[in-house]
Structure 1
Amino acid sequence: MSSNDKQPSCDTCHQVFFTLGTLRRHIAVIHSTMERPRFPCSFPGCSKTYLYKRHILEHVKIDHAKNPVRFPCTLCGKEFKTRTELERHIPTHTTEKPYNCATCGRSYANRGNMISHQKTHLEKSTRPVSKCHVCPQTFLSSRGLQYHIRAVHESRRDHPCEFCDKRLSTPASLKRHVGVMHVMNKGLIRSCDKCEYKSYLIDNLARHRMRHNPARHECYFCRKKFFSFGELGKHFSVHTLES
Protein backbone atom coordinates (compact mmCIF):
# COMPACT_ATOMS: atom_id res chain seq x y z
CA MET A 1 0.00 0.00 0.00
CA SER A 2 1.49 3.33 -1.04
CA SER A 3 0.33 6.91 -0.98
CA ASN A 4 1.48 10.35 -2.01
CA ASP A 5 0.34 13.91 -1.38
CA LYS A 6 -2.57 13.43 -3.75
CA GLN A 7 -4.15 9.97 -3.76
CA PRO A 8 -3.27 6.55 -2.28
CA SER A 9 -2.73 3.68 -4.72
CA CYS A 10 -2.66 -0.12 -4.57
CA ASP A 11 0.84 -1.65 -4.80
CA THR A 12 -0.55 -4.78 -6.47
CA CYS A 13 -2.76 -3.45 -9.28
CA HIS A 14 -1.86 0.27 -9.14
CA GLN A 15 -5.48 1.38 -8.89
CA VAL A 16 -5.83 4.86 -7.35
CA PHE A 17 -8.28 5.68 -4.55
CA PHE A 18 -9.59 8.85 -2.93
CA THR A 19 -9.05 7.69 0.68
CA LEU A 20 -6.90 5.20 2.59
CA GLY A 21 -10.09 3.57 3.87
CA THR A 22 -11.32 2.66 0.40
CA LEU A 23 -7.83 1.43 -0.50
CA ARG A 24 -7.76 -0.87 2.55
CA ARG A 25 -11.21 -2.26 1.68
CA HIS A 26 -10.05 -2.82 -1.91
CA ILE A 27 -6.99 -4.80 -0.73
CA ALA A 28 -9.08 -6.86 1.72
CA VAL A 29 -11.72 -7.74 -0.89
CA ILE A 30 -9.73 -8.05 -4.13
CA HIS A 31 -6.22 -9.15 -3.16
CA SER A 32 -6.65 -11.04 0.11
CA THR A 33 -5.83 -14.77 -0.07
CA MET A 34 -7.74 -15.58 3.13
CA GLU A 35 -11.08 -17.35 2.95
CA ARG A 36 -13.71 -14.98 4.34
CA PRO A 37 -17.30 -15.78 5.38
CA ARG A 38 -19.96 -14.48 3.01
CA PHE A 39 -23.50 -13.38 3.82
CA PRO A 40 -26.21 -14.99 1.64
CA CYS A 41 -29.25 -13.15 0.34
CA SER A 42 -32.34 -14.47 2.16
CA PHE A 43 -34.72 -13.65 -0.71
CA PRO A 44 -36.34 -16.89 -2.03
CA GLY A 45 -34.64 -18.18 -5.16
CA CYS A 46 -31.64 -15.81 -4.93
CA SER A 47 -28.22 -17.45 -4.51
CA LYS A 48 -26.09 -14.30 -4.33
CA THR A 49 -23.67 -13.83 -1.43
CA TYR A 50 -21.74 -10.79 -0.19
CA LEU A 51 -18.76 -10.04 2.02
CA TYR A 52 -20.55 -7.19 3.80
CA LYS A 53 -24.07 -6.97 5.22
CA ARG A 54 -24.53 -3.47 3.82
CA HIS A 55 -24.03 -4.88 0.33
CA ILE A 56 -26.92 -7.30 0.92
CA LEU A 57 -29.15 -4.37 1.88
CA GLU A 58 -28.15 -2.53 -1.30
CA HIS A 59 -28.75 -5.69 -3.36
CA VAL A 60 -32.25 -6.23 -1.90
CA LYS A 61 -33.15 -2.58 -2.43
CA ILE A 62 -32.04 -2.68 -6.07
CA ASP A 63 -33.04 -6.19 -7.18
CA HIS A 64 -35.89 -7.34 -4.94
CA ALA A 65 -37.89 -4.18 -4.16
CA LYS A 66 -41.57 -4.15 -5.18
CA ASN A 67 -41.18 -0.80 -6.94
CA PRO A 68 -37.44 -0.50 -7.60
CA VAL A 69 -35.98 2.85 -8.61
CA ARG A 70 -34.62 2.84 -12.15
CA PHE A 71 -32.47 5.42 -13.94
CA PRO A 72 -33.46 5.78 -17.63
CA CYS A 73 -31.13 6.99 -20.35
CA THR A 74 -32.72 10.03 -22.02
CA LEU A 75 -30.99 9.18 -25.30
CA CYS A 76 -32.10 5.58 -25.85
CA GLY A 77 -34.63 4.85 -23.09
CA LYS A 78 -32.66 1.98 -21.58
CA GLU A 79 -33.06 1.72 -17.80
CA PHE A 80 -30.34 1.03 -15.24
CA LYS A 81 -30.43 -0.17 -11.65
CA THR A 82 -28.04 2.49 -10.34
CA ARG A 83 -27.00 6.01 -11.27
CA THR A 84 -23.40 4.78 -11.59
CA GLU A 85 -24.42 2.25 -14.28
CA LEU A 86 -26.26 5.02 -16.14
CA GLU A 87 -23.21 7.29 -15.98
CA ARG A 88 -21.03 4.50 -17.40
CA HIS A 89 -23.56 3.97 -20.20
CA ILE A 90 -23.84 7.62 -21.35
CA PRO A 91 -20.42 7.73 -23.11
CA THR A 92 -21.58 4.93 -25.45
CA HIS A 93 -23.72 7.55 -27.21
CA THR A 94 -20.80 9.91 -27.78
CA THR A 95 -17.27 9.77 -29.13
CA GLU A 96 -15.93 11.19 -25.88
CA LYS A 97 -13.18 9.09 -24.28
CA PRO A 98 -11.89 11.13 -21.32
CA TYR A 99 -9.75 8.41 -19.69
CA ASN A 100 -6.25 8.09 -21.17
CA CYS A 101 -3.61 5.44 -20.51
CA ALA A 102 -0.53 7.15 -19.05
CA THR A 103 1.76 4.64 -20.81
CA CYS A 104 0.51 4.49 -24.40
CA GLY A 105 -2.09 7.26 -24.58
CA ARG A 106 -4.97 4.98 -25.59
CA SER A 107 -8.33 6.53 -24.69
CA TYR A 108 -11.35 4.95 -23.01
CA ALA A 109 -14.90 6.05 -22.31
CA ASN A 110 -14.93 4.04 -19.07
CA ARG A 111 -12.40 4.45 -16.25
CA GLY A 112 -12.61 0.78 -15.26
CA ASN A 113 -11.70 -0.34 -18.79
CA MET A 114 -8.75 2.05 -18.78
CA ILE A 115 -7.49 0.63 -15.47
CA SER A 116 -7.79 -2.93 -16.79
CA HIS A 117 -5.87 -1.92 -19.91
CA GLN A 118 -3.06 -0.33 -17.88
CA LYS A 119 -2.32 -3.70 -16.29
CA THR A 120 -1.28 -5.05 -19.70
CA HIS A 121 1.76 -2.75 -19.56
CA LEU A 122 3.09 -4.41 -16.40
CA GLU A 123 5.68 -7.17 -16.52
CA LYS A 124 3.89 -10.51 -16.73
CA SER A 125 5.52 -11.71 -13.51
CA THR A 126 4.12 -8.70 -11.60
CA ARG A 127 0.64 -8.57 -13.11
CA PRO A 128 -2.13 -9.21 -10.55
CA VAL A 129 -4.26 -12.07 -11.84
CA SER A 130 -7.55 -13.65 -10.82
CA LYS A 131 -7.51 -17.44 -11.25
CA CYS A 132 -10.49 -19.56 -12.23
CA HIS A 133 -11.15 -22.34 -9.69
CA VAL A 134 -12.53 -24.65 -12.40
CA CYS A 135 -9.99 -24.33 -15.23
CA PRO A 136 -6.43 -22.96 -15.58
CA GLN A 137 -7.49 -19.68 -17.21
CA THR A 138 -6.44 -16.43 -15.50
CA PHE A 139 -7.69 -12.85 -15.85
CA LEU A 140 -6.33 -9.37 -15.22
CA SER A 141 -9.51 -8.32 -13.41
CA SER A 142 -12.00 -9.93 -11.05
CA ARG A 143 -14.77 -8.70 -13.35
CA GLY A 144 -13.29 -10.65 -16.26
CA LEU A 145 -13.15 -13.76 -14.07
CA GLN A 146 -16.79 -13.31 -13.06
CA TYR A 147 -17.89 -13.02 -16.69
CA HIS A 148 -15.84 -16.12 -17.55
CA ILE A 149 -17.40 -18.26 -14.78
CA ARG A 150 -20.94 -17.15 -15.63
CA ALA A 151 -20.56 -17.62 -19.38
CA VAL A 152 -18.33 -20.71 -19.61
CA HIS A 153 -18.89 -22.76 -16.47
CA GLU A 154 -22.45 -21.74 -15.53
CA SER A 155 -23.76 -21.14 -19.08
CA ARG A 156 -25.58 -18.03 -17.88
CA ARG A 157 -27.07 -15.55 -20.33
CA ASP A 158 -27.81 -12.48 -18.21
CA HIS A 159 -27.74 -9.80 -20.91
CA PRO A 160 -30.94 -9.61 -23.00
CA CYS A 161 -31.06 -7.87 -26.36
CA GLU A 162 -33.55 -4.98 -26.40
CA PHE A 163 -34.33 -5.57 -30.09
CA CYS A 164 -35.02 -9.34 -30.07
CA ASP A 165 -35.43 -12.32 -27.70
CA LYS A 166 -31.77 -13.36 -27.72
CA ARG A 167 -29.81 -13.34 -24.45
CA LEU A 168 -26.01 -13.05 -24.33
CA SER A 169 -23.40 -14.04 -21.76
CA THR A 170 -21.42 -10.77 -21.49
CA PRO A 171 -21.88 -7.06 -22.26
CA ALA A 172 -19.23 -7.39 -24.98
CA SER A 173 -21.06 -10.23 -26.74
CA LEU A 174 -24.32 -8.26 -26.48
CA LYS A 175 -22.63 -5.26 -28.10
CA ARG A 176 -21.31 -7.47 -30.92
CA HIS A 177 -24.75 -9.01 -31.44
CA VAL A 178 -26.49 -5.62 -31.67
CA GLY A 179 -23.78 -4.29 -33.96
CA VAL A 180 -24.20 -7.18 -36.40
CA MET A 181 -27.90 -8.07 -36.21
CA HIS A 182 -29.48 -4.69 -35.49
CA VAL A 183 -27.05 -2.23 -37.05
CA MET A 184 -28.76 1.01 -38.04
CA ASN A 185 -26.41 2.15 -40.80
CA LYS A 186 -25.51 -0.85 -42.96
CA GLY A 187 -23.34 1.35 -45.15
CA LEU A 188 -20.64 1.22 -42.46
CA ILE A 189 -19.16 -2.10 -43.53
CA ARG A 190 -15.54 -3.17 -43.00
CA SER A 191 -13.60 -5.68 -45.12
CA CYS A 192 -10.70 -8.02 -44.42
CA ASP A 193 -7.63 -7.21 -46.52
CA LYS A 194 -6.73 -10.92 -46.87
CA CYS A 195 -10.07 -12.51 -47.83
CA GLU A 196 -13.70 -11.67 -48.61
CA TYR A 197 -14.87 -11.50 -44.99
CA LYS A 198 -16.91 -8.41 -44.08
CA SER A 199 -18.35 -7.10 -40.82
CA TYR A 200 -20.09 -4.05 -39.39
CA LEU A 201 -17.91 -4.17 -36.24
CA ILE A 202 -14.18 -3.49 -35.91
CA ASP A 203 -13.97 -6.04 -33.06
CA ASN A 204 -15.41 -8.81 -35.25
CA LEU A 205 -12.98 -7.96 -38.04
CA ALA A 206 -10.04 -8.02 -35.60
CA ARG A 207 -11.07 -11.47 -34.30
CA HIS A 208 -11.42 -12.72 -37.86
CA ARG A 209 -7.95 -11.49 -38.82
CA MET A 210 -6.45 -13.63 -36.03
CA ARG A 211 -7.50 -16.68 -38.05
CA HIS A 212 -5.02 -15.76 -40.75
CA ASN A 213 -2.26 -16.44 -38.18
CA PRO A 214 -1.36 -19.72 -36.42
CA ALA A 215 -3.52 -20.62 -33.40
CA ARG A 216 -1.52 -19.93 -30.23
CA HIS A 217 -3.82 -20.50 -27.22
CA GLU A 218 -3.07 -24.06 -26.09
CA CYS A 219 -5.32 -26.24 -23.94
CA TYR A 220 -3.70 -27.20 -20.63
CA PHE A 221 -5.25 -30.68 -20.77
CA CYS A 222 -5.04 -31.93 -24.38
CA ARG A 223 -2.66 -29.41 -26.04
CA LYS A 224 -5.20 -28.49 -28.71
CA LYS A 225 -4.70 -24.92 -29.91
CA PHE A 226 -7.27 -22.18 -30.44
CA PHE A 227 -7.31 -18.73 -32.00
CA SER A 228 -8.72 -16.90 -28.96
CA PHE A 229 -9.06 -17.20 -25.18
CA GLY A 230 -12.83 -17.29 -25.65
CA GLU A 231 -12.67 -20.43 -27.79
CA LEU A 232 -10.20 -21.99 -25.37
CA GLY A 233 -12.49 -21.20 -22.43
CA LYS A 234 -15.46 -22.88 -24.10
CA HIS A 235 -13.28 -25.89 -24.89
CA PHE A 236 -12.32 -26.28 -21.20
CA SER A 237 -15.90 -27.32 -20.40
CA VAL A 238 -15.27 -30.55 -22.33
CA HIS A 239 -12.60 -31.57 -19.84
CA THR A 240 -14.38 -30.33 -16.72
CA LEU A 241 -17.52 -32.29 -17.65
CA GLU A 242 -15.44 -35.41 -18.20
CA SER A 243 -13.66 -35.15 -14.85
Structure 2
Amino acid sequence: MKKYNSMDLVVDKPHKCNKCDRCFKEKTTLKRHEMIHTEEKPFTCEYCNKTFRQKGNMKIHERIHTGEKPFVCEYCEKVFSTKRNLIRHIRTHTGEKPFVCQYCKKSFSHELSLRIHLRTHTGEKPFTCEYCKKTFSAKSSLISHIRTHTGERSFICGHCEKTFSEKSILRTHIRTHTGEKPFTCGYCKKAFRQKVHMEEHKRTHTGEKPFVCEYCEKTFSAKSTLIKHIRTHTGERPFICGHCEKTFSNKSTLRTHIHIHTGEKPFSCGYCNKTFRQKTQANVHERIHTGEKPYTCKYCNNTFSRKRQMRKHELIHL
Protein backbone atom coordinates (compact mmCIF):
# COMPACT_ATOMS: atom_id res chain seq x y z
CA MET A 1 0.00 0.00 0.00
CA LYS A 2 1.46 3.33 -1.06
CA LYS A 3 1.70 6.02 1.61
CA TYR A 4 1.41 9.69 0.70
CA ASN A 5 3.32 12.03 2.96
CA SER A 6 1.86 15.52 3.23
CA MET A 7 5.05 16.86 1.58
CA ASP A 8 4.02 14.92 -1.55
CA LEU A 9 1.09 17.30 -1.85
CA VAL A 10 3.30 20.33 -2.44
CA VAL A 11 6.39 19.10 -4.34
CA ASP A 12 6.95 17.83 -7.91
CA LYS A 13 4.45 20.34 -9.37
CA PRO A 14 6.37 22.21 -12.10
CA HIS A 15 3.41 23.95 -13.78
CA LYS A 16 2.62 27.25 -12.05
CA CYS A 17 -0.49 29.41 -12.40
CA ASN A 18 0.41 33.04 -13.24
CA LYS A 19 -2.67 34.35 -11.43
CA CYS A 20 -2.41 32.73 -7.99
CA ASP A 21 0.98 30.91 -7.94
CA ARG A 22 -0.68 27.53 -7.39
CA CYS A 23 1.36 24.64 -8.88
CA PHE A 24 0.30 21.48 -10.71
CA LYS A 25 1.89 18.23 -11.84
CA GLU A 26 0.28 18.24 -15.28
CA LYS A 27 -0.03 21.07 -17.80
CA THR A 28 -3.58 19.95 -18.65
CA THR A 29 -4.53 20.30 -14.98
CA LEU A 30 -3.10 23.83 -14.98
CA LYS A 31 -5.19 24.73 -18.03
CA ARG A 32 -8.36 23.48 -16.33
CA HIS A 33 -7.42 25.44 -13.21
CA GLU A 34 -6.92 28.66 -15.19
CA MET A 35 -10.63 28.57 -16.10
CA ILE A 36 -11.32 29.47 -12.46
CA HIS A 37 -9.73 32.86 -13.13
CA THR A 38 -11.28 33.36 -16.57
CA GLU A 39 -14.67 32.01 -15.32
CA GLU A 40 -14.91 30.06 -18.58
CA LYS A 41 -17.39 27.13 -18.38
CA PRO A 42 -17.64 25.62 -21.86
CA PHE A 43 -19.56 22.41 -20.98
CA THR A 44 -23.37 22.54 -20.50
CA CYS A 45 -25.68 19.94 -18.89
CA GLU A 46 -28.30 18.87 -21.44
CA TYR A 47 -30.94 18.49 -18.70
CA CYS A 48 -30.72 21.76 -16.71
CA ASN A 49 -28.24 23.94 -18.67
CA LYS A 50 -25.85 24.19 -15.72
CA THR A 51 -22.34 24.89 -17.01
CA PHE A 52 -18.99 23.35 -16.06
CA ARG A 53 -15.31 23.97 -16.60
CA GLN A 54 -14.59 20.28 -17.24
CA LYS A 55 -16.44 17.75 -19.38
CA GLY A 56 -15.87 15.06 -16.75
CA ASN A 57 -17.59 17.14 -14.09
CA MET A 58 -20.54 17.72 -16.42
CA LYS A 59 -20.89 13.96 -17.03
CA ILE A 60 -20.82 13.29 -13.28
CA HIS A 61 -23.43 16.01 -12.71
CA GLU A 62 -25.74 14.54 -15.38
CA ARG A 63 -25.96 11.34 -13.32
CA ILE A 64 -28.03 13.36 -10.80
CA HIS A 65 -30.66 13.57 -13.55
CA THR A 66 -30.25 10.04 -14.94
CA GLY A 67 -29.74 8.28 -11.59
CA GLU A 68 -26.85 6.36 -13.09
CA LYS A 69 -24.45 4.83 -10.53
CA PRO A 70 -21.98 2.74 -12.53
CA PHE A 71 -19.39 2.09 -9.80
CA VAL A 72 -20.05 -0.93 -7.54
CA CYS A 73 -18.33 -1.82 -4.26
CA GLU A 74 -16.83 -5.29 -4.41
CA TYR A 75 -17.38 -5.79 -0.66
CA CYS A 76 -21.02 -4.76 -0.12
CA GLU A 77 -22.32 -4.04 -3.66
CA LYS A 78 -23.24 -0.46 -2.76
CA VAL A 79 -23.25 1.70 -5.92
CA PHE A 80 -21.81 5.15 -6.57
CA SER A 81 -22.06 7.79 -9.26
CA THR A 82 -18.30 8.56 -9.22
CA LYS A 83 -15.17 6.43 -9.05
CA ARG A 84 -13.73 8.80 -6.42
CA ASN A 85 -16.64 8.16 -4.05
CA LEU A 86 -16.28 4.40 -4.60
CA ILE A 87 -12.56 4.53 -3.73
CA ARG A 88 -13.30 6.52 -0.55
CA HIS A 89 -16.04 4.06 0.41
CA ILE A 90 -13.84 1.00 -0.14
CA ARG A 91 -11.43 2.36 2.49
CA THR A 92 -14.21 1.96 5.07
CA HIS A 93 -13.90 -1.78 4.39
CA THR A 94 -10.12 -2.04 4.06
CA GLY A 95 -9.19 0.49 6.76
CA GLU A 96 -6.63 1.95 4.36
CA LYS A 97 -5.31 5.39 5.35
CA PRO A 98 -2.70 6.30 2.74
CA PHE A 99 -2.37 10.03 3.47
CA VAL A 100 0.13 10.74 6.27
CA CYS A 101 0.77 14.02 8.10
CA GLN A 102 4.42 15.11 7.89
CA TYR A 103 4.24 16.70 11.35
CA CYS A 104 2.62 14.07 13.61
CA LYS A 105 2.41 10.99 11.32
CA LYS A 106 -1.36 10.73 11.79
CA SER A 107 -2.88 9.01 8.75
CA PHE A 108 -6.09 9.67 6.83
CA SER A 109 -8.24 7.84 4.30
CA HIS A 110 -8.93 11.02 2.29
CA GLU A 111 -6.52 13.63 0.93
CA LEU A 112 -8.94 16.43 1.86
CA SER A 113 -8.98 15.24 5.49
CA LEU A 114 -5.18 15.46 5.54
CA ARG A 115 -5.22 18.98 4.07
CA ILE A 116 -7.67 20.15 6.74
CA HIS A 117 -5.65 18.41 9.47
CA LEU A 118 -2.41 20.09 8.32
CA ARG A 119 -3.99 23.44 9.19
CA THR A 120 -4.02 22.42 12.87
CA HIS A 121 -0.20 22.52 12.61
CA THR A 122 0.18 25.54 10.33
CA GLY A 123 -2.61 27.61 11.88
CA GLU A 124 -3.97 28.41 8.42
CA LYS A 125 -7.66 29.42 8.36
CA PRO A 126 -8.41 30.37 4.75
CA PHE A 127 -12.23 30.51 4.99
CA THR A 128 -13.72 33.78 6.30
CA CYS A 129 -17.29 34.49 7.42
CA GLU A 130 -18.77 37.38 5.44
CA TYR A 131 -20.88 38.43 8.44
CA CYS A 132 -18.41 38.55 11.35
CA LYS A 133 -15.01 37.91 9.67
CA LYS A 134 -14.35 34.84 11.85
CA THR A 135 -11.98 32.44 10.06
CA PHE A 136 -12.05 28.66 9.70
CA SER A 137 -9.68 25.91 8.59
CA ALA A 138 -12.39 23.95 6.75
CA LYS A 139 -15.06 25.16 4.32
CA SER A 140 -17.63 22.84 5.93
CA SER A 141 -17.03 24.58 9.28
CA LEU A 142 -17.61 27.96 7.63
CA ILE A 143 -20.87 26.79 6.05
CA SER A 144 -22.07 25.51 9.43
CA HIS A 145 -21.09 28.78 11.10
CA ILE A 146 -22.86 30.96 8.54
CA ARG A 147 -26.15 29.29 9.49
CA THR A 148 -25.78 30.80 12.98
CA HIS A 149 -26.14 34.18 11.24
CA THR A 150 -28.82 33.28 8.68
CA GLY A 151 -30.87 31.02 10.97
CA GLU A 152 -31.20 28.49 8.15
CA ARG A 153 -32.46 25.10 9.40
CA SER A 154 -33.02 23.07 6.25
CA PHE A 155 -32.81 19.55 7.72
CA ILE A 156 -36.21 18.28 8.97
CA CYS A 157 -36.90 15.31 11.26
CA GLY A 158 -39.39 12.91 9.69
CA HIS A 159 -40.67 11.88 13.13
CA CYS A 160 -41.44 15.21 14.81
CA GLU A 161 -40.72 17.82 12.08
CA LYS A 162 -38.13 19.55 14.26
CA THR A 163 -35.60 21.40 12.07
CA PHE A 164 -31.81 21.48 12.25
CA SER A 165 -28.98 23.46 10.71
CA GLU A 166 -26.76 20.37 10.25
CA LYS A 167 -27.45 16.98 8.69
CA SER A 168 -25.21 15.33 11.30
CA ILE A 169 -27.25 16.91 14.13
CA LEU A 170 -30.45 15.62 12.50
CA ARG A 171 -28.99 12.09 12.35
CA THR A 172 -28.14 12.25 16.05
CA HIS A 173 -31.59 13.62 16.89
CA ILE A 174 -33.34 10.82 14.98
CA ARG A 175 -31.73 8.36 17.40
CA THR A 176 -33.82 9.88 20.21
CA HIS A 177 -36.83 8.49 18.28
CA THR A 178 -35.34 5.17 17.22
CA GLY A 179 -33.41 4.51 20.45
CA GLU A 180 -30.35 3.62 18.38
CA LYS A 181 -27.05 3.81 20.24
CA PRO A 182 -24.43 2.68 17.72
CA PHE A 183 -21.29 3.63 19.67
CA THR A 184 -20.16 1.17 22.35
CA CYS A 185 -17.48 1.58 25.03
CA GLY A 186 -14.76 -1.05 24.67
CA TYR A 187 -14.30 -1.20 28.45
CA CYS A 188 -17.81 -1.56 29.89
CA LYS A 189 -20.03 -1.99 26.77
CA LYS A 190 -22.12 1.10 27.63
CA ALA A 191 -23.72 2.40 24.43
CA PHE A 192 -24.05 5.98 23.20
CA ARG A 193 -25.92 7.90 20.50
CA GLN A 194 -22.89 10.04 19.65
CA LYS A 195 -19.28 9.02 19.09
CA VAL A 196 -18.00 12.11 20.93
CA HIS A 197 -19.93 11.07 24.06
CA MET A 198 -18.46 7.58 23.87
CA GLU A 199 -14.93 8.99 23.56
CA GLU A 200 -15.51 11.26 26.56
CA HIS A 201 -16.90 8.33 28.54
CA LYS A 202 -13.89 6.11 27.70
CA ARG A 203 -11.67 8.66 29.41
CA THR A 204 -13.39 7.83 32.71
CA HIS A 205 -11.72 4.42 32.29
CA THR A 206 -8.35 5.60 30.98
CA GLY A 207 -8.06 8.75 33.11
CA GLU A 208 -6.95 10.67 30.01
CA LYS A 209 -7.43 14.46 30.17
CA PRO A 210 -6.10 15.79 26.86
CA PHE A 211 -7.68 19.27 26.96
CA VAL A 212 -5.51 21.87 28.74
CA CYS A 213 -6.56 25.34 29.92
CA GLU A 214 -4.25 27.99 28.46
CA TYR A 215 -4.71 30.18 31.54
CA CYS A 216 -4.10 27.81 34.48
CA GLU A 217 -3.04 24.51 32.79
CA LYS A 218 -5.89 22.58 34.43
CA THR A 219 -6.75 19.53 32.33
CA PHE A 220 -10.10 18.12 31.24
CA SER A 221 -11.40 14.94 29.67
CA ALA A 222 -13.90 16.76 27.42
CA LYS A 223 -13.42 19.79 25.17
CA SER A 224 -16.86 21.11 26.12
CA THR A 225 -15.86 21.13 29.80
CA LEU A 226 -12.67 23.03 28.93
CA ILE A 227 -14.66 25.66 27.01
CA LYS A 228 -16.97 26.16 30.01
CA HIS A 229 -13.96 26.39 32.33
CA ILE A 230 -12.18 28.98 30.17
CA ARG A 231 -15.16 31.29 30.67
CA THR A 232 -14.33 31.40 34.39
CA HIS A 233 -11.11 33.15 33.33
CA THR A 234 -12.47 35.33 30.52
CA GLY A 235 -15.78 36.21 32.16
CA GLU A 236 -17.54 35.53 28.85
CA ARG A 237 -21.32 35.04 29.21
CA PRO A 238 -22.55 34.44 25.64
CA PHE A 239 -26.00 33.02 26.45
CA ILE A 240 -28.72 35.67 26.87
CA CYS A 241 -32.20 35.21 28.35
CA GLY A 242 -34.86 36.40 25.93
CA HIS A 243 -37.15 37.38 28.81
CA CYS A 244 -34.90 39.55 31.02
CA GLU A 245 -31.60 39.77 29.07
CA LYS A 246 -29.65 38.21 31.95
CA THR A 247 -26.48 36.53 30.62
CA PHE A 248 -24.97 33.13 31.40
CA SER A 249 -21.72 31.31 30.73
CA ASN A 250 -23.42 27.97 30.04
CA LYS A 251 -26.38 27.14 27.82
CA SER A 252 -27.69 24.61 30.35
CA THR A 253 -27.78 27.31 33.06
CA LEU A 254 -29.75 29.55 30.70
CA ARG A 255 -32.27 26.77 30.06
CA THR A 256 -32.77 26.29 33.81
CA HIS A 257 -33.13 30.05 34.30
CA ILE A 258 -35.82 30.32 31.59
CA HIS A 259 -37.99 27.93 33.66
CA ILE A 260 -38.30 30.77 36.21
CA HIS A 261 -40.07 32.86 33.56
CA THR A 262 -42.16 30.06 32.04
CA GLY A 263 -42.97 28.30 35.33
CA GLU A 264 -42.05 25.02 33.67
CA LYS A 265 -40.93 22.17 35.94
CA PRO A 266 -40.04 19.38 33.53
CA PHE A 267 -38.33 16.99 35.98
CA SER A 268 -40.57 14.70 38.07
CA CYS A 269 -39.83 12.59 41.15
CA GLY A 270 -40.19 8.92 40.29
CA TYR A 271 -41.82 8.22 43.64
CA CYS A 272 -44.28 11.05 44.42
CA ASN A 273 -44.54 12.97 41.11
CA LYS A 274 -43.36 16.24 42.65
CA THR A 275 -41.88 18.38 39.86
CA PHE A 276 -38.68 20.43 39.68
CA ARG A 277 -37.03 22.97 37.40
CA GLN A 278 -33.67 21.17 37.49
CA LYS A 279 -32.82 17.49 37.11
CA THR A 280 -30.30 17.76 39.95
CA GLN A 281 -33.10 19.01 42.26
CA ALA A 282 -35.21 15.98 41.33
CA ASN A 283 -32.27 13.64 41.97
CA VAL A 284 -31.58 15.14 45.42
CA HIS A 285 -35.27 14.99 46.32
CA GLU A 286 -35.54 11.32 45.38
CA ARG A 287 -32.96 10.49 48.04
CA ILE A 288 -35.67 11.29 50.63
CA HIS A 289 -37.50 8.24 49.27
CA THR A 290 -34.50 5.98 48.65
CA GLY A 291 -32.47 6.92 51.72
CA GLU A 292 -29.38 7.18 49.51
CA LYS A 293 -26.48 9.14 51.03
CA PRO A 294 -23.71 9.20 48.41
CA TYR A 295 -21.43 11.77 50.11
CA THR A 296 -19.02 10.51 52.80
CA CYS A 297 -17.06 12.63 55.30
CA LYS A 298 -13.33 12.09 54.75
CA TYR A 299 -12.70 12.38 58.51
CA CYS A 300 -15.36 10.19 60.19
CA ASN A 301 -17.19 8.32 57.42
CA ASN A 302 -20.57 9.92 58.20
CA THR A 303 -22.74 9.92 55.04
CA PHE A 304 -24.97 12.63 53.60
CA SER A 305 -27.57 12.98 50.86
CA ARG A 306 -26.20 16.36 49.75
CA LYS A 307 -22.65 17.50 49.10
CA ARG A 308 -23.39 20.83 50.78
CA GLN A 309 -24.36 19.03 54.00
CA MET A 310 -21.15 17.01 53.92
CA ARG A 311 -18.96 20.09 53.47
CA LYS A 312 -20.72 21.88 56.35
CA HIS A 313 -20.20 18.84 58.54
CA GLU A 314 -16.49 18.55 57.68
CA LEU A 315 -15.92 22.03 59.17
CA ILE A 316 -16.54 20.45 62.60
CA HIS A 317 -13.30 18.50 62.20
CA LEU A 318 -11.19 21.51 61.22
1:51 and 2:131 correspond: no
Cα distance, 1:130–1:25 mapped onto 2, change above 3 Å = farther
8 Å CA contact 2:183, 2:191 repeated in 1: yes
What are the ranges of 5 or more consecutive residues in structure 2 without an aligned counterpart?
1-90, 98-106, 288-292, 299-306, 308-318
Separation in 1 of the partners of 2:182 and 2:244? 32
Of residues 265, 269, 275 in structure 2, which corresponds to 1:189?
Answer: 269
Select the structure of larger CA radius of gyration. 2
Q: Report 1:1-243 matches (<5 A).
A: 6-7=94-95, 19=109, 21=111, 24=114, 28=118, 34=121, 36-39=123-126, 41-44=128-131, 46=132, 48-52=134-138, 54-55=139-140, 57-59=142-144, 61-65=146-150, 68-93=152-177, 95-122=179-206, 124=207, 127=208, 129-149=210-230, 153-158=234-239, 169-170=249-250, 172-173=252-253, 182-184=264-266, 188-190=268-270, 212-213=295-296
Answer whether contact 1:72 1:79 (CA < 8 A) is retained.
Answer: yes
Q: Is contact 2:237-2:250 (8 Å) kept? A: no
1:16-45 Cα distance to aligned partner (Å, 9 max, x none):
x9826577468646xx6x46133473534x
Q: Deviations over 1:184-203 (max 9, x none)?
A: 5x6x3058xxxxx9857665
Q: How far off is 1:114 after superposition?
A: 0.9
Compute the RMSD of aligned alpha carbons: 4.9
Does structure 2 conserve the Cα–Cα contact (< 8 Å) formed by 1:99 and 1:110? yes
Q: Secondary structure at the match of 1:146?
A: helix
Residue aligned with 2:217, SS: coil
Q: 1:50 and 1:19, CA in 2 relative to 1: closer, same or farther beyond 3 A?
A: same
Distance 1:128 1:38 in 2: 26
Inter-CA distance 55–107: structure 2 relative to 1 (3 Å threshold): closer
Q: TM-score, normalised by structure 1?
A: 0.52
Q: Give the aligned residue type for 1:58.
A: I
Q: Percent identity?
A: 23
In the alignment, the residues of structure 2 paired with residue 176 and residue 7 of structure 1 have an alpha-carbon distance, to the nearest angstrom, of 44
8 Å contact kept, 1:159–1:170: no
Counterpart amino acid of 1:104?
Answer: C
TM-score relative to the length of structure 2: 0.42
Cα deviation, residue 75, structure 1: 4.7
Q: Which has the higher contact order (CA 8 A, sep 6+)?
A: 1
Cα offset, 1:109, TM superposition: 2.0
Superposition deviation, residue 102 in structure 1: 1.5
Question: Alignment partner of 2:181: what SS?
Answer: coil
1:164 & 1:87 partners in 2: Cα distance? 34
Show CA shifts across 1:71-100 (max 9, x none): 233555543211111222233345443322
Alignment check: 8 A CA contact 1:190 1:198 kept: no
Cα distance change, pair 23–72 in 1 and its aligned pair in 2 (3 A): closer
Residues 264 and 277 in structure 2, CA contact (< 8 A), matched pair in contact too: no
CA distance in 1, matches of 2:240, 2:188: 32
Q: Is the 1:190–1:199 contact (alpha carbons within 8 Å) kept by the matching residues of 2?
A: no
Residues 18/170 of structure 1: CA separation in 2 closer, same or farther (3 Å cut): farther
Give the 3 Å change call, closer, same or farther, for CA 74–143 of structure 1 in structure 2. same
The Cα of 1:116 is off from its aligned counterpart by: 1.6
Would you say how many aligned residue pairs link Structure 1 and Structure 2? 191
User: Any idea what the Cα deviations from partners look like across 1:108-149, whole Å, max 9, x if unmatched?
Assistant: 122221122112222x4xx35111212333222334433443
2:109 partner amino acid? T
Unaligned stretches of 5+ in structure 1?
10-16, 192-196, 216-226, 228-243
Q: 1 CA distance for matches of 2:280 and 2:117? A: 33
Question: Which amino acid is 1:115 matched to?
Answer: E
1:204 shift after superposition: 5.2
